[in-house]
Amino acid sequence: MPDAYKIEGMIDLDFCSADELLLRRRSLRRELSAVDGLQELRIAVLGGSTTDQIVTTLEIFLLAAGFQPVFHQSEYGRYYDDAVYDPQTLIDFRPNLVYIHTSCRNVRNLPPLNCTESQLPGYVETELNRFKEIWDSLDARVGCQVIQNNFEMPPHAILGNMDAVAAGGENRFLMELNVAFAREATRRPRLLLQDVHGISAKVGLRNWFDWTLFFNFKLLLQPAANLELARSLNAMIQAIYGKSRKVLVLDLDNTLWGGTIGDDGVDKILIGRETPQAEAYTAFQEYCLSLRNRGILLAICSKNDEDIAKAGFSHPDSILKLEHISCFKANWEPKHENIALIAKELNLGVDSFVFVDDNPAERAIVQAQIPGVAVPDIGNDVTHYAEVIQAARYFEPASLSREDRERAALYASNLQRADQAATFNNYGEYLDSLDMSAEIDSFKPVYLERIAQLTNKTNQFNLTSRRYTLAEMEVAMRDRNTIALYGKLSDRFGDNGLISIVLGRRDGDTVHIDLWLMSCRVLKRSMETAMLDALAERALGMGVKVVRGNYLPTAKNSMVADHYSRLGFQPCPQPSLPEGATAWQLNLTGYVRKNSHIRVLEYTHV
């Protein structure tokens, strides 16, 4: 991320109030806009009410996240018309993302009070179809990611409690419609659903609508509601572009359990169900484990003797066990130094870390010494730890792939591979001992979501660091002049999943590599040579004689600066490249396969 962290007096956007943000909005916008390295992001907002306030709030969050947002807003209430009847303005704007901002007031097909159970599905389907027309039109004509909110409950329950039960109740109808929206989102890769129903429940409907503003200016929501919507949207957009956090780094004493294990011993630490405080620590461990089970890595950073620290996980009531921890650092070194070591061992940037410690001094030191690490002010009351972490939406997913759910297990397998490597003197023998097999093939629809996700997440092994949307990947898959390859890798320790992508564009007798990336968890396994072999065979089958590729340096991808030279490419200077970039080419005449350690199971021969 850019150096927004260095802005003097920068407020904590994760936890600031609406009043605080509104007061400083102009100065924050000016200061954040001046930060170097912002990524342009074009967002079209189609509103059922006036969207100015949510846009201006969202802009601050996106600037702080490293984006330079450019907005287009529809006129009041024209969310349907601009998408279905008159989409040319949207097409000309070329958005990366369309956000459809609607509320329960925009629902048009409410059932009558005397609606029957058999009639209710028809009303739901009619309203759903109206939105399906919007999504279908955007998909066909604009072709970008769409975020659509579901619906908050109405301000008035005309039937009282029966409003949630009766087929003619508005609450009941909106709940049914929200379920229909959710089902539709699972069928549409380009459609993401913002849970306005959940957000409004947390904020409270009394703090949600502002009827004075609405009837005077068509501004429906209170500032606090707009703030929470903006936080939610920011988290979703960061997830789309691979900027969600991936690692939860945890202190131990008075964070994962009550008491000091070095003084109190395993038997005396507070964990379990016997006391209210012990149960609160158990609940926080359960929360951490639930994050781990959906793919967030857990790491330990504690000032302690390692053996004593590890003993805490042997407590019979401990929910977390040592096998749940991807990296364990317990010693007497400064915590910021240990966090840097954790980042190195996991091969992840510190901007993917969240550090949780009950000690405010330790939090302050880490925040000062490692810009980029998220350090929530959790206080020292364990009953609020999960609430504070969750409120900041650090770990927002855009999707849940198999690789996401199994990420912690994949990193655990990597530790086994590292231990195995230490038993071999010859690295080639070690690679052979892994019994690796790869599937390398052209893009397939079933993998497109993971391919787009990997494109936007991978930073270190990425030769150009270009980002592609799902729609762009779909175009590449269908283009006969594009070589679009994915690679999956397995070995005797487990399946690493889809971990590499190469995207090449044919121009005459040359293929230009626009994208070459790989997950860092399979570094130094020779997967890059297997991908090159597949690329070369595809290129030769198309009559191509030369493959060219550029290395465009970023703050994170220096590890692949010599990638092309290691694969036998020769320099071919191009004056038009930016400073520090290099250009390379490989003559395919007489090409000899380079991979000797991976058994390639399948790829389509041309």
Statement: the pTM of the whole predicted model exceeds 0.95 = no
Domain extent listing, the chain? 3-240, 247-391, 426-602
**Strands of 9-159, DSSP E:** 39-47, 67-73, 97-101, 145-149
Q: 247-391: same fold as 3-240?
A: yes
Q: Strands 247-250 and 297-303: what pairing?
A: parallel
The residue behind tokens 């395993």 is 266
H or E element at residue 354: strand 353-356
**pLDDT tens across 542-593, in order?**
999 999 999 998 877 888 899 999 999 999 988 888 888 999 999 999 999 9
Q: At what angle do helices 120-141 and 170-187 cross, to 10 degrees?
A: 40
Is there a contact between 104 and 209 (Cβ–Cβ < 8 Å)? Answer: no
Q: For residue 419, what pLDDT is reported?
A: 56
Q: Is 184 exposed, middle or buried (0-12, 13-18, 19+ CB in 10 A)?
A: middle
C-beta neighbour count of 593 within 10 angstroms: 13
> Hey, what amino acid is at 395?
F
Rounded average pLDDT per 10-residue block, the chain, 606 residues: 52 87 91 91 96 95 95 95 95 96 96 97 97 96 94 96 97 98 92 96 94 92 95 94 92 95 91 93 97 94 94 95 95 95 90 95 93 94 96 87 59 57 68 88 88 78 83 86 92 84 93 90 85 94 93 85 93 86 93 91 54
C-beta neighbour count of 174 within 10 angstroms: 23
**Distances from the Cα of 384 to the Cα of 277, 283, 388, 391, 436, angstroms:** 12, 11, 6, 11, 45
| CA 91 – CA 101 distance, rounded (Å) | 19
The CATH class given to the 426-602 domain equals alpha beta
CATH hierarchy code of domain 3-240:
3.40.50.1110
Is there a contact between 487 and 525 (Cβ–Cβ < 8 Å)? Answer: no
The residue behind tokens 């992001």 is 41
Q: Tokens standing for 87? A: 């989409």
CATH hierarchy code of domain 247-391:
3.40.50.1000
- φ, ψ of residue 166 to 5 degrees: the values are -70, 145
CA 252 to chain centre: 27
Beta-carbon-side half-sphere exposure of residue 49 (alpha carbons within 13 Å)? 22
DSSP H helices in 161-208: 170-187, 196-203
Q: For residue 421, what pLDDT is reported?
A: 55
266-273 own/partner pairs: CB under 8 Å, 24+ apart: 266/311, 266/312, 266/314, 266/315, 269/312, 269/315, 271/315, 271/317, 271/318, 272/315, 272/317, 273/317
Nearest 10 degrees: CA dihedral of 162, 168, 174, 175? 50
